Amino acid sequence: MMNKDLRSIAIENSDEITQEWLKEINQLKSVNYTEEISAELYDNNNQEFLNVIFHSIRGNGSTKVIKDFSDRIIQLGWPLSYITDGLLVFRKVTVNTILTKLEQSDGGFVSEIISSVDSWVEPIIRQLVNEYSVSWEQVVSLQRIALQELSAPLIPVMDNITIMPLIGTIDTERAKFIMENLLEGVMRHNAEVVLIDITGVPVVDTMVAHHLFQATEAVRLLGASCILVGIRPEIAQTIVNLGINFSNLPTKSTLKKGFMLALEITNKSIIEMDNKSQNMDDLLGFGKGSEITNENSNLKTT
C-alpha cells in the first residue's frame, strides 16, 4: 500500500515534477538533439511525452497510449535517446520531489521510493525501446528483400543475347545469387552470349574477380559465352596491380562495344533503314487512327 501512497504523491505533485522535468530536458536539447527540431515542436512533444508517462502511472501501466505515442515519434524520426533520457530525468525528478514532500531521509525508505518509481518508469522504457527496435528490424528486413530483388536481374535483349547489369557491392551471398540467376537465365532464354556489365560495381577485388570467373566458367560449361563489359579505367589499373589474369574472359570497356561483339558472335548485324518518311508516331504505334490525323501531324512537323 506504500506504493499506492507514493504514486498519489507523484500524481498530486505532477505540476511541480513537470516544471522540473521540462527545465532539465530543455538543457539536454542543445546537447542531444539536432537543431532541425523547432522549439515549438519540442515543447509540444515534451508535453505529450509527460502526459503519456502520467497516464501510464495512473493507469498502472496501460500500454495502448505508449504504443500510439511511440508509433508517432518513430514516424517523425525522434531519436531513441530522447526517450531514454526523458525517462531517466523523470525518474530523478520524481524521486527528488517525493523525498522533499515527505521530508524523510531514512535509508530504507529512500530505496523503497526509488524502487517504486523505477517500477513505474521501467515498463515504459522497455516498451518504447522495444517498439523502436521492432521498427528498425522491420526496415532492415524489408530492405534486405528489396536488395535481393535488385541483386541480379537478367535481361534478354535479343534472341540468344542476354544482359546482366550488376550494380553495387558484391558479397558472398549476392555472388551465389548472380551465379544461380545467370545459369537459370541462360537455360530459360536459350542464350548464346551473356553480357555481364560491372559499371556499377564499386570495387573489383580478388574475391569479386574469383566469383566472376566461376560464374563465367559455369556459363561456358552450358555452351554459352560471357563477355565482361563496363570496366572503368581505374578498375582496369587495379586489376593489373592485383595481378589478376582476365585473359581467358573476353572483356570490353562499354556495354555498347560488348553488344556489337555479341552480335558478331551470333551472326547478327544492325542495318540502318533508308525510308525516313515514316514518322515517329507511326513507329511507336500512336498513329493507328485515321489517315487524316497522320497527315495533320506530318504538317505540324514540317
Upper half-sphere CA count for residue 11 (Cβ side, 13 Å): 15
| Residue 204 is a binding residue for another protein (CB under 8 A) | yes
d(CA 188, CA 186) in angstroms, rounded, equals 6
Give the nearer residue to another protein in terms of CB position, either 158 or 209. 209
| Residue 141 is a binding residue for another protein (CB under 8 A) | no
| Residue 23 is a binding residue for another protein (CB under 8 A) | no
| Residue 247 is a binding residue for another protein (CB under 8 A) | no
Phi first, then psi: give them for residue 277, nearest 5 degrees: -65, -30
For 149-203, give the DSSP string. Answer: HHH---EEEETTEEEEEEES---HHHHHHHHHHHHHHHHHTT-SEEEEEEEE-S-
Give the nearer residue to another protein in terms of CB position, either 137 or 205. 205
Min. distance of Cβ 136 from another protein in angstroms? Answer: 16
| Residue 43 is a binding residue for another protein (CB under 8 A) | no
| Residue 243 is a binding residue for another protein (CB under 8 A) | yes
Min. distance of Cβ 232 from another protein in angstroms? Answer: 8
Residue 266, amino acid: T
Q: How far apart are the first and last CA of the chain?
A: 94
| Residue 241 is a binding residue for another protein (CB under 8 A) | yes
Give Cβ neighbours of residue 161 (< 8 Å, ≥ 6 apart). 191, 192, 193, 195, 259, 262, 263, 266
Give the nearer residue to another protein in terms of CB position, either 186 or 204. 204
Stretch that binds another protein, among 67-75, 90-98, 197-205, 278-286 (CB under 8 A): 197-205
Stretch that binds another protein, among 20-28, 146-154, 200-208, 252-260 (CB under 8 A): 200-208
d(CA 198, CA 196) in angstroms, rounded, equals 6
| Pairing of β 155-158 and β 251-252 | unpaired
d(CA 169, CA 177) in angstroms, rounded, equals 13
Residue 264, amino acid: E
| Residue 217 is a binding residue for another protein (CB under 8 A) | no
Give the nearer residue to another protein in terms of CB position, either 129 or 167. 167
Letters for 144-183 (x = contact with another protein by CB under 8 A, - = none) are -------------------------x-xxx----------
Stretch that binds another protein, among 4-12, 34-42, 196-204, 276-284 (CB under 8 A): 196-204
Phi first, then psi: give them for residue 289, nearest 5 degrees: -70, -150
Helix, coil or strand: residue 225: strand
Min. distance of Cβ 224 from another protein in angstroms? Answer: 23
Binding site for another protein (CB under 8 A): 169, 171-173, 202-207, 209-210, 213, 233-235, 237-238, 241-244
